[in-house]
Amino acid sequence: KHSRRGTVRAVSLQAPDPDSLLNHYKKLIALRKEYPALAQIQHPNLEPAGGKDREVVAYLRPHPTHPVLVFHNVSGKAKSISLGRKEIVFTEVLFQTNPTDQLQDGKLMLSAFGSMVLGRKL
């Protein structure tokens, strides 16, 4: 049998590290619980967003009261993304993988392999 021992850090080592994979997934699970659009399975639950950059995966998770906009930079270089007319109302950063990434004046600066989830204020 092939053992993966040594390739995964023990939970006891990951728990105190705020940047660990364990804590990353805990944050994502908490976000999904807080924003119903992220857990919604009824159609339509996904709409394309974000323009035409093939190295950025972007989609809108619609919801009657709390829709969210999600961006994933799947490239190894930073990206500057201009939000479209329908996207510009999403001004609240709900989650980001890199604390230096920014949303300012309708433009999203997303680091290599970075993700950001945006909400809109009611």
pLDDT in tens, 21-59: 787 788 888 888 888 888 877 777 788 898 788 999 999
Residue 5: per-residue pLDDT = 53
Compute the average pLDDT of residues 17-23: 77
Sorted by sequence, the CB contacts under 8 Å of residue 79 that are 6+ apart come out as: 53, 55, 56, 73, 108, 109, 110
Sorted by sequence, the CB contacts under 8 Å of residue 42 that are 6+ apart come out as: none
Q: Is the pLDDT of residue 3 over 60?
A: no
User: For the whole model, what pTM was predicted?
Assistant: 0.80
